[in-house]
Every structure is written in C-alpha cells, then in structure tokens.
C-alpha cells in the first residue's frame, strides 16, 4: 500500500517539475552523493526561452517504500535572476502539500536554509508525513541588490510520526552536490 502511495506521490509531484523531460542523472548540474537508500530515482531537465524570461530547471526525484526526496535546481537565463525568499514561501509556491504544520528551523549546513515540518501531500492527504524542506540561493548577480543565478530547493518526507533527526537532515543536505557557483 505504501509503495503504491509513493508511486502516486512521485507522479503527482509534477508541479515541481512541469513540464518534465526525463534525462540521464549524470547530465545534471546537481546530484545526490549517495542514492543507495532509494529504490527509484528519476531525473529531469527542461529549458525555457522565448517571449518571456529564460531559465533551466532540473530535478532529482528519489524514493523508496516509505520516503521521497525531491531536489530541484533552477538556473536563471539571460537578463533574469531569482530574488531571495524564504524556504516556506518556495514550498508554498510549488503547491505539493495539502497541509503543513509545525514548521520549525532545522540544522542545514552548506548555506542551505532548512525547516522541519509535518506534512500531508495533495494527492494523499490522509497519510501524515515527517518532512524537511530546504533552499539555497547562489551566484549573486552583479548590479542587483538581491538577484541570484541559481536556486536549489526541495523536500524530504518519510511516512513516520516522529520528527526527522538532526543527523538525518545534515546527512541528506550534505548529500546534495552541484557543479556551479
């Protein structure tokens, strides 16, 4: 039952990556240093240009029977940049969660802003999850007071009632690597 839940979860996390084009994980500018704890890993990359601002979006979606780990990277295009905002606002914008409770700061490391919370996903609101969310802005744009070229963000959730430990948060944040800065 939980495996089916996570398969549907992976499918319905689409707002984080829409439109999504599957790609080879090795071709991304982001990576997870260790993926041994996850039975399924999907990667995506999409570029947008044209009449509006351009940007590149890529993501890693890792899961197993009881967890899901989503890591997103957005790179601003020509003459565009991201304005710093907090992790909660970013997570609220992607509309993945039907309910978020007990939002509290958590240890991060590597200049990530991290918060723990209890969540319920939009597609499965009856399953309580212990989660943490994270974000990091990097690559300050010259001649702007608050612009950044790169935004890394995402979340990790597990189907348990206890909060995720500091050690697990630090380990997973530490496993996120990237090739830009």
Span 135-158, average pLDDT? 85
Phi-psi region of 10 (alpha: psi -120 to 50; beta: other; left: phi over 0): alpha
Boundaries of every domain in the chain: 2-178
Whole-number pLDDT of residue 132: 97
Find, among 84, 53, 54, the residue nearest to 151 by Cα. 84
22-27: which pairs have CB atoms within 8 A and are 24 or more residues apart?
23/58, 25/60
* Residue 46 near residue 55 (C-beta atoms within 8 A): no
Cα 145 to chain center, whole Å? 25
Residue 155 CB burial class (10 angstroms; 0-12, 13-18, ≥19)? buried
pLDDT of 93 strictly over 70: yes
Span 139-167, average pLDDT? 87
Q: How far apart are CA 86 and CA 78, in angstroms?
A: 24
Q: How far apart are CA 23 and CA 33, in angstroms?
A: 18
Question: Per-residue pLDDT tens for 28-55?
Answer: 999 998 777 899 999 999 887 655 566 7
* Residue 24 near residue 43 (C-beta atoms within 8 A): yes
- For residue 148, name the pLDDT band (cuts at 50, 70, 90): confident
pLDDT of 19 strictly over 70: no
Find, among 72, 69, 21, 27, the residue nearest to 45 by Cα. 21
> pTM for the full model?
0.83
Eight-state DSSP code of residue 160: -
pLDDT of 9 strictly over 50: no
The mean pLDDT value of the chain amounts to 82
* Residue 69 near residue 133 (C-beta atoms within 8 A): no
* Residue 155 near residue 70 (C-beta atoms within 8 A): yes
Whole-number pLDDT of residue 131: 97
Whole-number pLDDT of residue 32: 93
* Residue 129 near residue 117 (C-beta atoms within 8 A): no
Where is 48: in which H helix or E strand?
strand 40-48
């Amino acid at each position: 039952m939980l495996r089916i839940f996570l398969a549907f979860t992976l499918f319905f996390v689409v707002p984080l990556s829409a439109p999504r084009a599957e790609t080879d994980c090795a071709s991304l500018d982001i990576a997870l240093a260790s993926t041994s704890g996850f039975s399924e890993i999907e990667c995506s990359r999409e570029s947008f240009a044209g009449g509006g601002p351009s940007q590149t979006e890529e993501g890693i979606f890792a899961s197993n029977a009881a967890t899901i780990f989503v890591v997103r990277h957005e790179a601003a295009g020509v003459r565009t940049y991201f304005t710093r905002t907090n992790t909660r606002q970013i997570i609220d914008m992607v509309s993945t969660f039907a309910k978020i409770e007990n939002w509290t700061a958590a240890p991060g490391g590597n200049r990530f802003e991290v918060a723990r919370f209890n969540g319920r996903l939009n597609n499965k609101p009856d399953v309580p999850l212990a989660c943490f969310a994270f974000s990091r802005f990097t690559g300050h744009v010259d001649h702007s007071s608050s612009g950044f070229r790169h935004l890394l963000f995402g979340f990790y959730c597990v189907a348990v009632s206890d909060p995720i430990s500091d050690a697990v948060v630090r380990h997973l944040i530490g496993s996120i690597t990237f090739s830009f800065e």
